[in-house]
Structure 1
Amino acid sequence: MTVEIHTEPTGPEERDGPREVDFAVTGARPVKYAAAPMLALDLQVTEADGAPVYMIALTIQLMIEPARRSYDDATRERLVELFGAPERWAVTTRSLVWAKLDVIVPAFTGTTTVSVPLACHYDLELAAAKYLHSLPDGVAPLALHFNGMIYYPADDGGLQMALIPWSKSIDFRMPVAVWRETIEHYYPGTAWVAVRADTFEALQRAKLARGLATLDACISDLLDDG
């Protein structure tokens, strides 16, 4: 068996087999049955010539691109904690890392669609979760950057491999409703906030001292006290 490794071809004369793939996200949906909040991106993979591919070992860097959408005044106010005063957003609305994903695309010919699972953290100390929680509706502008290796048959029956460079990128405008539906499915009517261990112990003591059943009731009671 022969093995050859190629980067992307520089001209038609080098095309002796499948070398390039294109990507598109065709949808996003909540994953209803998982151990933790998760949604799935439907990733369409197309080989440029419609030729067979053995598999693709793919890495995806998923970024949120806040500068690629507009915001009303109420949303701007919620995002001040992340980006500062709105008049400075031209320089402060930096990209936010959501996830780095490893995906195996199984054998296909022409076009296939794979489900890419994406964890939805609801820790509001994390920038990506804080940003998504701040959006009441509309879309979350995402950028997917791809890297990896395509494995495909050579004309002589051997195995060829082609690199997918990090320059291969696409955008996807994910409906905020998908993220909200996912979180609500796993944590109905609740939110998660990280606190230090000593703060947690203090809340526990206050809860017991006040004869309250839950930490939520204790926090509400403390807020009512001013």
Structure 2
Amino acid sequence: MSFGEQTATVQAAMPAPRFEITHAAHLAFAASPTMVFQAIATEPGDHDIQSLALSVQVMIEPAKRGYDPDTRGRLVELFGPPARWAASTQGLQWGQVAVTVRGFRDSTTFAIELPCTYDLEVATAKYFHALSDGEVPLGFHFSGQVFYREGGGRLQVAPVPWSRTAQFRMPIAAWRAMIAEHYPGGGWIRLADDTLCTLNERRAARGLPTFDACVKELLSQEAGDAR
């Protein structure tokens, strides 16, 4: 047997788990916005898996869905003119998390908890905020290590193949439900310290009860000046 054939035989004998994403919902009562994806790990070979130590990268794949004219208008800031979208909508990294999966044989379920933000200066939040309905095409990319026992009972370690991916279309309603729980009736923007101090001084000087009221007054004045 040649070296190449020996290598192929060893690789064929190693576990090569596959993954599927089945559901998405926000983590209720979490301290900060967190999306939970329910997943299935399947081992097609005859291996007793002791555990999986995974790194999961979650990518938004904007090119895999269509957009109505209003949504395209809201996405121009993020992707540029629609004529360029074939090149500019290739992918946005939503996040990367570490996940440990308990031992199993054949298949098991596990959860992927992904921290989220509503900071509208972050590209992913801009994208979600621009969508009024439909689904978000997601790509899950898995890497890491498989711990398993061979026939003699000895613990072995093998890499998760780089080719392991899973596709999932998350309803945008799931993201909106998560944001509504943490920011009911509102949103969140980040301001520089000096901008915040200036805004607070104006709010106090004008006798306004909230920053929201202060910003509304400024916008109203801007609209009046424009007329």
* Cα distance in 2, alignment partners of residues 138 and 50 from structure 1: 40
Structure 1 residue 89 corresponds to structure 2 residue 82: no
Identity %: 43
Is there any run of 5+ residues in structure 2 with no aligned partner, and where?
A: 1-6, 223-227
* Cα distance in 2, alignment partners of residues 71 and 193 from structure 1: 25
Structure 1 residue 211 corresponds to structure 2 residue 207: yes
Alignment deviations for residues 77-122 of structure 1 (CA, whole Å, 9 cap, x no partner): 0000000111111111131111011000011121111111111210
Is there any run of 5+ residues in structure 1 with no aligned partner, and where?
A: 1-8
Q: How does 1:1-150 map to 2 (within 5 A)?
A: 10-11=8-9, 15-16=12-13, 19-49=15-45, 51-150=47-146
Q: Could you say which residue in structure 2 is the equivalent of 1:5?
A: none
Tell me if the contact between 2:15 and 2:47 (Cα under 8 Å) persists in the aligned partners.
no
RMSD: 1.5
Tell me if the contact between 2:75 and 2:130 (Cα under 8 Å) persists in the aligned partners.
yes
* Cα distance in 2, alignment partners of residues 28 and 216 from structure 1: 32
Alignment deviations for residues 135-161 of structure 1 (CA, whole Å, 9 cap, x no partner): 111111111111011000111110111
Greater shift in the superposed pair: 47-56 or 175-184: 47-56
Tell me if the contact between 1:50 and 1:111 (Cα under 8 Å) persists in the aligned partners.
no
* Cα distance in 2, alignment partners of residues 14 and 85 from structure 1: 47
SS of the equivalent of 1:55 reads strand
TM-score, normalising length: structure 2:
0.91
The structural deviation recorded for 1:14 is 5.9
Greater shift in the superposed pair: 185-194 or 42-51: 42-51
* Cα distance in 2, alignment partners of residues 125 and 79 from structure 1: 13
TM-score, normalising length: structure 1:
0.91
* Matched residues, number: 216
Q: 1:35 to 1:50 in 2, by over 3 A?
A: farther
Residue type at the aligned position of 1:142: L
* Cα distance in 2, alignment partners of residues 84 and 14 from structure 1: 45
Tell me if the contact between 2:16 and 2:161 (Cα under 8 Å) persists in the aligned partners.
no
More helix by share: 2
